Structure 1
């Protein structure tokens, strides 16, 4: 019982750590997203004006911070995913063995198992997104350029980027921008493919265990069948994500232009 209690406590504390810990551990000096967006807009403008493909020290500092930020988030979300997976297995296992318990107890176990399962899938999505951001932090910062209504040099630089993308220009700075945006989507394509394969393998194991479970054990078979169906459908959804990101990575400029126009 104490193990389940510990898992529940961790499942409550880790989401708080996911929000609070990254800026502290990553060593950022920013009090919020608006301040980060302002710093990135200024650093990006300096990089764009330099005309070269090498990041300026100011931009490099922000990119390194953003990589550390996503690393902390990915690790925290990964630990949360493990905790929720173990907790979910315990809850569904208890539900499968709850034949002698009352209806209220069985309903509580089923509700808890369902909530934890959904929360675990959400955590899996957080792990995927933050690993992607860690691999390509520069591209991950780009949406900040369209936040709010920047003016002055930042707006002029952003408009020049848009014009260059629309015209198919190939300046060193723009080339780096496009390549990193492509890397961002390649990363998610690979991550999604690995996750889809893992989920599919899990589905096979669940169906094998379902087939090996005696028919009189109907509650266990029901839990395994429901989990097997979910594990069989999820790889299809994740595979769609992999295909979509592969398509974008193959021709990143239009998608990048749409992003910087605020329409994607």
Structure 2
């Protein structure tokens, strides 16, 4: 793709990114509020989940109560909407960042280069934030019940923590442990796949750098190659940590309910 991208294309990408950011903030709750679930905000959700979780904990069955199932379904739809919007935003921001840095590498004037570097840096940072949002919300989509557990009220926290400490299992506790393991396994897989993708990007950038005759281009490509490698290493650490939690979820779940997480 040529570096001489029309300004209107960059403007359209900026506008699209702004619209997606607004949609990410406003749309998920509206999209998730269906099929009997209608929460005005996090306080409403926290209150509803706290009451439903108490009933579920004392039900003695693994199956969710109707009220809890409704809340978990809502939380699934909420995270799914956020994951899709964050993925679209990531694609737009990556495209915008690539175009801005290509312009930077071809720009002549100092002022123009400074403006393009600043704009490219902002787009890059926002793209990294979008990547984190994709991973976090994809994890919440895979295991919505586990991602709701921090909203449990103090009324049952001590009892759940005690059951985990003394090894007394109940069907609701087994369901919580299984979903908590799934929650961490999801992030382990997501982090590992993303790390592998970033290492592939790093290799491609390094090969392109070696072929580039321009010193400025080589410096930019080297910087992004380094950034990709550092992010990949960080994600490998995340993948290993989450694999450990997935293989032995009880200590992490106990820490969540006793305030040590």
TM-score, normalised relative to structure 1: 0.93
Pick the aligned partner of 1:86 from 81, 92, 95: 95
The CA distance in 2 between the partners of 1:93 and 1:206, in whole Å, is 13
Q: Which digits, 9 at most, give the CA deviation of each residue in 1:98-136, with x for residues without a partner?
A: 0x2x21111010011111111101100000000000000
- For structure 2, the residue ranges without an aligned partner over 5 or more in a row are 1-6
CA displacement, residues 21-79 of structure 1 (integer Å, 9 cap, x when unaligned): 00001114111211101100111111111101111111111101000000000000000
- Tell me the equivalent position of 1:21: 27
Q: Which residue of 2 aligns with 1:68?
A: 77
Q: How does 1:37-186 map to 2 (within 5 A)?
A: 37-98=46-107, 100=108, 102-146=109-153, 150=154, 155=155, 157-186=156-185
Name the structure 2 match of 1:247: 244
Q: Distance in 2 between matches of 1:169 and 1:76?
A: 41
Report the RMSD for the aligned CA atoms in angstroms: 1.0
CA contact (8 A) 2:80 2:137 kept: yes
Aligned equivalent of 1:212: 211
Distance, in Å, in 2 between the alignment partners of 1:164 and 1:175 is 11
1:171 deviates by 1.1
CA distance in 1, matches of 2:74, 2:149: 14
Question: Structure 2: how far apart are the matches of 1:145 and 1:173?
Answer: 14
Partners in 1 of 2:160 and 2:111 — Cα distance?
Answer: 60
Over residues 140-191 of structure 1, what are the superposed CA-to-partner deviations in whole Å (9 max), with x where a residue is unaligned? 0011115xxx5xxxx0x33221110111112111111111001000000000
SS in 2 for 1:166: helix
The structural deviation recorded for 1:196 is 0.2
The total of aligned residue pairs comes to 252
Q: Say whether 1:230 aligns with 2:239.
A: no
- 2:191 is matched with 192
Specify the SS of the correspondent of 2:27.
Answer: helix
Give me the whole-angstrom Cα distance separating, in 1, the residues matched to 2:13 and 2:47: 39
Q: Which runs of 5+ in 1 are unaligned?
A: none
Q: Secondary structure, in 3 states, of the residue corresponding to 1:50?
A: coil
